[in-house]
Amino acid sequence: MAKIDLVMPKMGESIAEGTIIKWTKKEGDRIERDETILEISTDKVDSEIPSTAAGVLAKILVEEGKTVAVGTVIAQIETEGAVAAAVAAAPTDGQVKSAVAAPVEAKKVEAPVAAPMPEAEPVSRQGKRFYSPLVRTIAKQENLSMQELEALPGSGVEGRVTKNDIMAYLENRSLPKPAVGQPMTAPALMPSVAARPAAPPMPPPAVISSMPVDETRVEIMPMDYMRKRIAEHMVMSKQVSPHVYSVSECDMTNIVRYREAIKDEFEKREGTKLTFTPFFIDAVVRAIKDFPMINSSIDGDKVIIKKYINIGIAVALENGLIVPVIKNSDSYNLVGLARATNDIAHRARHKQLKPDEVQGGTFSITNMGSFGNLFGIPVINQPQVAILGIGAITKRPVVINDAIAIRDIVYLSLSYDHRIIDGAYGGQFLERVVYYLENFKPEAR
């Protein structure tokens, strides 16, 4: 019998550590090569990790909920023969080398790497400390200085600052109190409101959750890792962006009739289903070209307008939500969008997405209508500045040319960042999306 080491895999160039969410096998279980052995979570995505060899899971070295650096030995697999050990130790795509190479690989991740997200410039690194892309992005959005970052105690591997560390610091950071009659200093982005006193900071979650409860009459359920990350991201978005909302209704009758007429033939010919999502993406892409500020982000006091269009599609999972991205969405026709949306939705639900596929989005779409809701008001997916919410398509009586007709109607909502998108611009963009949907021409697709 030979033992090989299973290490924390490297899921992407900018990924330096991962959290073990769940071991799907326990010590003593027989495992086959490429069989899922555990689930891990990184700053970008949750993934199922296959075993690198067949054998028996001899020992679990890192328990669930722990965060460790890439290359760290997390388990040992007992295999039969040296050949199996050699095969299992060989590096594969998306994985780091095993046992012997692990310390070397761990050193490599200490070197500064370029963050793949164009939305945020990396914070300069000093000393031996490494900051993940997400920590750097949050620090930049919150105008944290390098001195503040360096002073933060880190709970991660080798004292690294994690998302929880920086979010806890931001929640508890107290602003200096001004002298009586002296106005508070305003944020750099809003000099016009410098004379207004800053709003009092929100109480940290610990204050709210510390209320006494009768444990005999409640069920206490701790948040899982994904829910914690979603909570942090949503709170951060509300703190960063002043949200404004617009709602319009759209007549989808022509598209509904077109899809109903061709969906069976389309699936046979193309090998994929034709849902309504590609129609919405197509209309959004066209509207973004007319209103490019919607496809931007904010960096300090600068507005970065993207010349590329990467549409994120919110996908509901059993225990949360993830937003995979269709890169260069404007390069697809309707067939290509149908294939792309079905593919990313399927792989998202089966934890097969790569980290690069959930970052780099420039605009997001979420469909509350799939659950029967008429409409919803979504939270902006940072660092984007707008998100489209799609309601249920329902038949309703409407007035057309002074006559009542039964039409397929959908409510569309747009949430946008009032720092750079005003009501007129946001409302015009939403109406342009409605225009392209209502004037859909099959021959042009």
Domain 242-444 indexed as CATH 3.40.50.1460: no
Residue 439 to residue 416: CA distance in whole angstroms:
25
pLDDT value, residue 43: 61
Q: Which CATH architecture has domain 2-108?
A: Beta Barrel (2.40)
Domain(s) of CATH 2.40.50.100: residues in the chain: 2-108
Closest among 88, 265, 216, 240 to 167, alpha carbons compared: 240
Asked if 78 and 54 count as a contact pair (C-beta separation under 8 A), the reply is no
The beta-carbon contacts of 108-117 under 8 Å, at least 24 apart in sequence, are: 109/10, 109/16, 109/69, 109/70, 109/71, 113/13, 113/14, 114/13, 114/14, 115/14, 116/12, 116/13, 116/14, 116/356, 116/359, 116/360, 117/359, 117/360
Domain(s) of CATH 3.30.559.10: residues in the chain: 242-444
Asked if 189 and 141 count as a contact pair (C-beta separation under 8 A), the reply is no
Residuewise pLDDT in 10s, the chain (445 residues): 678 888 888 766 556 778 888 898 888 889 888 888 888 877 667 788 888 888 898 889 998 888 888 889 999 888 875 434 444 444 444 443 333 333 333 333 333 333 333 333 333 344 446 666 567 777 777 777 777 777 777 766 556 677 777 777 777 764 444 444 444 443 333 333 333 344 444 444 444 555 677 778 888 888 877 788 888 889 999 999 999 999 999 999 999 999 999 999 999 999 999 999 999 999 999 999 999 999 999 999 999 999 999 999 999 987 788 999 999 999 999 999 999 999 999 999 988 888 789 889 999 999 999 899 999 999 999 999 999 999 999 999 999 999 999 999 999 999 999 999 999 999 999 999 999 999 998 876 6
Residue 239 to residue 171: CA distance in whole angstroms:
10
Q: Tell me which residues are annotated as active site.
A: 418, 422
Q: Which 3 state secondary structure label does DSSP give 9?
A: coil
- What b/e sequence results for 121-160 when a residue is b if at least 16 CB atoms lie within 10 Å of its CB, and e otherwise? ebbebeeeebbbbbbbbbbbbbebeeeebeebebebbeeb
pTM: 0.63
pLDDT value, residue 158: 55
Residue 87 to residue 99: CA distance in whole angstroms:
13
pLDDT value, residue 134: 67
